[in-house]
Amino acid sequence: MPKSKRAKVVHLSKVEKKGKELSERLFANVREAADEHQYAFVFDVENMRNNYLKEVRAEFSDSRIFFGKTKVMAKALGTDAASEHLPNLHKLSAHLAGNVGLLFTSREPAEILEYFANYAQTDFARAGVVASSTFVVPEGVVHSTGGQVPASEDTPLPHPVEVTVRKWGMPTRLDKGKVVLDQEYTVCKEGQTLNSHQTALLKLFGVHMADFKIQIKAYYSAASQEVTVVDSMEE
């Protein structure tokens, strides 16, 4: 008989076991990294992009970077003096909140702080991101960059796209095979939280509004056995 194509039942015990194994591995790896390196940094990621995080990992190939469950990482460091892995390391756990990760390295803090203060990558915004500027498409024939360059240096938007941009909220129409706006259209305003239609239009016109940044929140020194909180303004 042929095998049934019906969905098979997956027992929760198997799923929980796998999740537990991953957590145990993360826990062990964090503690191992703490023993191997002189410093432990907690960093916060803004506008997370995996491809840019890979760049950072490549830059710090001599170090260890962890981006996993914050509760597991906090438990590995220690949540109080009684459970801490190294003296005063539990004080770093207080900063493990939000979209954060851990960097273990033997490079000096000054080098780390300078690197991340100067590191940023610009990308297309996703829904939920706050617009960094106002973007307006001028009236008349709509061009591929939405008016960012002179019309003589641009190309008209392909007419098959007209249906799509109209679906995304732009009040366009076709005139002799060209996509036209009867009046200028504001795609977004600075400080506005973007929705999926706005981000789609911004991407279509090649407008980047998301900066991938990593900010150091605090770090631990094995030599001094102290945690230093980093002021974002000073950084």
| Ramachandran category for residue 5: left, alpha or beta (phi over 0 → left; psi -120 to 50 → alpha) | alpha
Q: What is the pLDDT of residue 233?
A: 42
pLDDT at site 122 = 83
Distances in whole angstroms, Cα of residue 11 to Cα of each of 15, 18, 126, 147: 7, 12, 35, 56
Q: Can you give the pLDDT at residue 94?
A: 92
- pLDDT range class, residue 154, cuts 50, 70, 90: very high
**What is the reported pLDDT for 46?**
82
Q: What is the DSSP letter of 153?
A: G
Q: What is the mean pLDDT of residues 181-187?
A: 96
pLDDT digits (tens, 9 = 90+) for 36-62: 999 999 999 887 788 888 889 999 999
Mean pLDDT confidence for 124-152:
93
Residue 1 in this model has a pLDDT that exceeds 50: no
pLDDT exceeds 90 at position 173:
yes
pLDDT higher than threshold 80 for residue 149 = yes
Size of the chain in residues? 235
Domain 26-123+211-229 grouped into CATH 1.10.150.240: no
* Residue pointed to by tokens 């194994």: 21
Is residue 89 predicted with pLDDT exceeding 90?
A: yes
Query: How far is 186 from 161, CA to CA, in rounded Å?
Result: 18
Please determine, for residue 199, whether its predicted confidence score (pLDDT) is greater than 80.
yes
Mean pLDDT of 12-24: 69
**What are residue 40's phi and psi, to 5 degrees?**
-125, 125
**CA 120 to CA 210: how far, in whole Å?**
10
Share of the chain above pLDDT 70, in %: 91
Q: What percent of the chain has pLDDT over 90?
A: 69
- Note the pLDDT of residue 186: 97
Please state which CATH number belongs to domain 129-210.
3.90.105.20
> Which pLDDT score, from 0 to 100, does residue 81 have?
86
Answer whether residue 156 shows pLDDT above 80: yes
The pLDDT of residue 2 is above 70: no
pLDDT at 107: 96
Q: What is the mean pLDDT of the chain?
A: 89
Q: Specify the domain boundaries for CATH 3.90.105.20 within the chain.
A: 129-210
In the prediction, which pLDDT does 114 show? 95
pLDDT on residue 13: 53
Residues spanned by CATH 3.30.70.1730 within the chain? 26-123+211-229
